[in-house]
Amino acid sequence: MTTITEAGRKTTIVPPSTDTFAACQQPTIRLYPVTNYTFGTKEAQPEEDPSVSARLQRLQDQYEQYGMRRTCEGVLVCHEHGHPHILMLQIANAFFKLPGDYLQPGEDEIEGFKVRLNERLAPAPGQQFAPDQHTEEWDISDCIAQWWRPNFETFTYPFIPPHVTRPKECKKMYLVNLPKHKVLSVPKNMKLLAVPLFELHDNSARYGSQLSAIPQYLSRYNFEFVDENDVVIGRSIGLPSQ
């Protein structure tokens, strides 16, 4: 701390704090630039149902036979210009969703989720890419959110309403750690977009309540941003500098 006296006035200058602010913090996540990833295309994957009502009817039919539906979706994070971006599918230039889908009855949760991710984003058999753009297995991390569908309706909640004893669907969002390089192939009828957190935040009108809440889910983590050469170019506030 420095005190400067000028024309009878005393001014105190306090240097910026160098203390960290990361106690009891989740492990820091390293984010790679979106340009590190190779994007290809594969055969289209049409929606199973022609309408919302048909989708809800199928949900009801499956519930009566197998019970509550289990759905897993992935939050894949990269960065652009030192800001986190979420890789998100866009369908028909209007509807946004995370990669993933519902599990089959009796299917293991994590292994089944990896199968759904491969169906959406893994290269098609026979597609060839450079050796360093490998396609190793998905690294599934924390479950960062759960959403519940209490009835055969479009409404979902981040909790089970008190009067509901048998929810019809539980959707989990998992953080998926992206490696330094990865090949991602997108069905021809979809687009894969990198959506910044500032665009998602408080924007339920465009993205819906589930997707617009992702910035809150990720606020528990600190991020470390690296460039194409694996050089750290930025960190979250509170992390020690090197």
Q: Which residue ranges make up each domain of the chain?
A: 37-122+131-234
How far does the chain reach from its first CA to its final CA, in angstroms? 23
* Confidence at 239, pLDDT banded by 50, 70, 90: low
Contact of 172 with 72, CB cutoff 8 Å:
yes
Q: Which one is predicted more confidently, 238 or 85? A: 85
Q: What are phi and psi for residue 74, nearest 5 degrees?
A: -110, 135
Q: 3, exposed or middle or buried, with CB in 10 Å at 0-12, 13-18, 19+? A: exposed
Question: 108-112, 171-175, 220-224, 235-239: lowest mean pLDDT where?
Answer: 235-239
Residue 241 has pLDDT above 80, yes or no: no
User: Which tens digits make up the pLDDT trace of 90-99?
Assistant: 998 888 999 9
Residue 94 CA from chain centroid, whole number: 18
Given a cut of 80, whether residue 242 has pLDDT beyond it is: no
3-state percent helix, strand, coil for the chain, nearest multiple of 5? 20, 35, 45
- Token pair for residue 125? 């058999």
Architecture of the domain spanning 37-122+131-234: Alpha-Beta Complex (3.90)
DSSP string covering 133-161: S--PPPEEEEEEEEEEE-SSSS--BSS--
pLDDT at res. 47: 87
pLDDT surpassing 90 at residue 131: no
At 185, the pLDDT band (50, 70, 90 cuts) reads very high
Residue 1 has pLDDT above 90, yes or no: no
CA distances from 171 to 71, 103, 106, 140, 148 (A): 5, 10, 16, 15, 6
More confident: 74 or 7: 74
What value does the mean pLDDT take over residues 171-200?
96
Residue 79, strand partner residues: 33, 84
Report which of residues 64 and 10 the model is more confident about: 64
Q: Mind listing the pLDDT tens digit for each residue in 105-124? A: 999 999 999 999 999 999 98
The percent of residues in the chain predicted with pLDDT above 70, rounded, is 87
- How confident is the model at residue 132, as a pLDDT? 52
Question: Mean pLDDT across the stretch 55-73?
Answer: 97
Q: Residue 184 phi/psi, 5° resolution?
A: -125, 125
How high is the pLDDT of residue 44? 94
